[in-house]
Amino acid sequence: MAAAGTAPRRVGFVGAGRMAEAIAQGLIRAGKVEAQHVLASAPSDRNLCHFRALGCRTTYSNQEVLQTCSLVFFATKPHILPAVLAEVAPVVTSEHILVSVAAGVSLSTLEELLPPTARVLRVSPNLPCVVQEGAMVMARGRHAGSSEAEFLQSLLEACGQCEEVPEAQVDIHTGLSGSGVAFVCTFSEALAEGAIKMGMPSGLAHRIAAQTLLGTAKMLLQKGQHPAQLRTDVCTPSGTTIYGIHALEQGGLRAAAMSAVEAATCRAKELSRK
């Protein structure tokens, strides 16, 4: 196995959808792995063409990925994953590190479908991995030790922020950050539309709204401030911001955002039970 912090010789993806592509593209852009050392499998060319465009190798055989790569990401749809794991189980060895990014599939389920000592980890990524600004959490299975966890964390930090958590928090992350990308886009769109209503051109409004979200997020991360503190810094007595905050509170923005994360988390847990 590659040591923590070093690049693996070959990285495999079983499943070639948008999330697999996002992780592969992040790893390649950061120089963690060379494109020609990435092998992706899928049953058709519909998604494999995106991997070929990155310079990666592709195959229709899931077993070939396991036979070629020691680090393998399983990025199929959750309901397909059990059949895929049953297919590849005969070629899994002690050299493999197996990483599932399938939402709602527990570590215990993964381990039941693989050889008894398989080293399995579960990762919950989000789409901004494609621009190396992802927010990811990971949980390790019974046979994955600290060296495997550190190795995977070091690799995935090329795609953004990655933290190890208890598995119980993975579904919460799905509601907060996986689904949260769509929630933030909805808010960004609403901000821009407010400016459009007041007379700003559409393209400019959307660019400024997106940059405002980016700048605010960087300040929160770099300064380590609680959002309430930064919000207080922006609000001046009788100023424009406090009037806008009052309107947001009247519209129930805070409660709606909390309910959105709760609903998405509950759905992720429901999928896990299924």
Which residues define the annotated binding site for NADP(+)? Answer: 75-78
**Mean pLDDT estimate for the chain:** 92
2 has pLDDT over 50: no
Q: What is the DSSP string of 214-254?
A: HHHHHHHHHH---HHHHHHHH--TT-HHHHHHHHHHHTTHH
Q: Among 168, 196, 219, give the residue marking a domain's end.
A: 168
The pLDDT of residue 3 is 45
In a domain, residue 186? The reply is yes
- In the beta sheet, which residues pair with residue 120? 98
In a domain, residue 2? The reply is no
Mean pLDDT of the region 201-217: 97
Share above pLDDT 70 across residues of the chain, in percent, rounded to a whole number: 97
pTM exceeding the 0.75 threshold for the entire prediction: yes
Q: How many domains does the chain have?
A: 2
List, for residues 163-187, the tens digit of each pLDDT value.
999 999 999 999 999 999 999 999 9
b (16+ CB within 10 A) / e for 228-237: eeeeeeeeee
Which residues define the annotated binding site for NADPH? Answer: 62
b (16+ CB within 10 A) / e for 185-208: eeebeebbeebbeeebeeeebbee
| CATH code, domain carrying 232 | 1.10.3730.10
In a domain, residue 5? The reply is no
51 & 161 share domain: yes
Residue range(s) defining the domain that contains residue 209? 178-273
List, for residues 130-157, the tens digit of each pLDDT value.
888 999 999 999 999 999 999 999 999 9
Which band of pLDDT confidence, cut at 50, 70 and 90, is reported for residue 6? low
List, for residues 223-265, the tens digit of each pLDDT value.
998 999 999 999 999 999 999 999 999 999 999 999 999 999 9
The pLDDT of residue 130 is 81
In a domain, residue 234? The reply is yes
The pLDDT of residue 8 is 59
Q: Among 168, 193, 212, give the residue marking a domain's end.
A: 168
147 & 234 share domain: no
Can you give 111-150 as a three-state secondary structure string?
Answer: HHCCCCCCEEEEEECCHHHHHCCEEEEEEECCCCCHHHHH
Task: Kindly list the distances between the CA atom of residue 212 and the CA atoms of 80, 184, 188, 207, 236, in Å, as whole numbers in the listed order.
Answer: 39, 12, 9, 9, 19
Greater confidence (100 vs 79) lies with 100
274 has pLDDT over 60: yes
Please name which of 66, 88, 265 lies closest in space to residue 168, comparing C-alpha atoms.
265
7 has pLDDT over 80: no
The pLDDT of residue 198 is 97
Q: What angle do CA 124, 76, 62 make, to 5 degrees?
A: 125
Greater confidence (255 vs 6) lies with 255
Task: Kindly list the distances between the CA atom of residue 43 and the CA atoms of 26, 50, 79, 200, in Å, as whole numbers in the listed order.
Answer: 23, 14, 15, 47
104 has pLDDT over 90: no
Which residues define the annotated binding site? Answer: 62, 75-78
